[in-house]
């Protein structure tokens, strides 16, 4: 199935309106205001020219909504760059994990999955670029960057008992 087309209509002095016709023939539109806010409109069935609901979103609210709408959404994503296909995730080392007390190098995460540990969050501090001899502890949170598959595999490795 081809991607549905967004129709763009300029609204002089307000911004641009993007219209989407869903497969069920419902009409949805987003008005991109020039100040970065967005209005999401759903239309009435008895009067298709007028909005039944018109939600105003700030740019950060719109950002969160976009994240939630992404088909490949994983909740605590810190960074998502569609053009590069990279994701960053926080993955916690459980106290029961086999890596509790072992060094990072033993995990061979980069070799196995292609994903890198770019930082470790421990209590209130962050340790950037941990070396292979960095010793993990239960409760640490690793910031892992890689492809979607790589990060998922890394999470599986970290989850080993």
- Write out the residues near other proteins by the rule CB under 8 A: 9-14, 17, 29, 31, 34-35, 39, 41, 43, 47-51, 53-54, 56
Identity of the residue, 35 or 133, whose beta carbon is nearer to other proteins in the bound complex: 35
For residue 116, the minimal CB distance to other proteins (Å) is 33
Note whether 116 and 144 are within 8 A (CB).
Answer: yes
Residue 113 structure tokens:
């999955």
Tokens 């540990």 sit at which residue?
117
Identity of the residue, 50 or 60, whose beta carbon is nearer to other proteins in the bound complex: 50
Note whether 136 and 101 are within 8 A (CB).
Answer: yes
Identity of the residue, 37 or 147, whose beta carbon is nearer to other proteins in the bound complex: 37
For residue 104, the minimal CB distance to other proteins (Å) is 41
Identity of the residue, 50 or 129, whose beta carbon is nearer to other proteins in the bound complex: 50
Report which of 41, 35, 32 is spatially closest to residue 10, judged by C-alpha positions: 32
Note whether 79 and 86 are within 8 A (CB).
Answer: yes
Identity of the residue, 14 or 126, whose beta carbon is nearer to other proteins in the bound complex: 14
Q: How far apart are the first and last CA of the chain?
A: 42
For residue 34, the minimal CB distance to other proteins (Å) is 6
The DSSP H or E segment spanning 157 is: helix 148-158
Q: What region, left, alpha or beta, does residue 21 occupy, with left being phi > 0 and alpha being psi -120 to 50 degrees?
A: beta
């Amino acid at each position: 199935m081809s991607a549905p087309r967004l129709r763009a209509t300029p609204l002089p002095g307000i911004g641009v309106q993007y219209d989407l016709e869903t497969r069920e023939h419902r009409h949805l539109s987003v008005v991109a205001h020039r100040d970065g806010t967005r209005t999401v409109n759903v239309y009435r069935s008895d009067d298709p020219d007028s909005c039944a609901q018109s939600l105003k979103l700030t740019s950060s609210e719109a950002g969160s909504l976009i994240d939630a709408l992404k088909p490949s959404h994983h909740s605590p994503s810190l960074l998502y760059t569609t053009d590069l296909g990279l994701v960053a995730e926080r993955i916690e080392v459980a106290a029961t994990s086999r890596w509790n007390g072992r060094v990072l190098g033993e995990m061979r995460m980069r070799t196995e999955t292609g994903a890198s540990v770019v930082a470790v969050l421990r209590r209130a501090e962050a340790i950037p670029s941990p070396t292979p001899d960095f010793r993990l502890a239960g409760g640490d949170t690793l910031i892992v960057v890689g492809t979607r598959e790589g990060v998922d595999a890394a999470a599986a490795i970290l989850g080993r008992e």
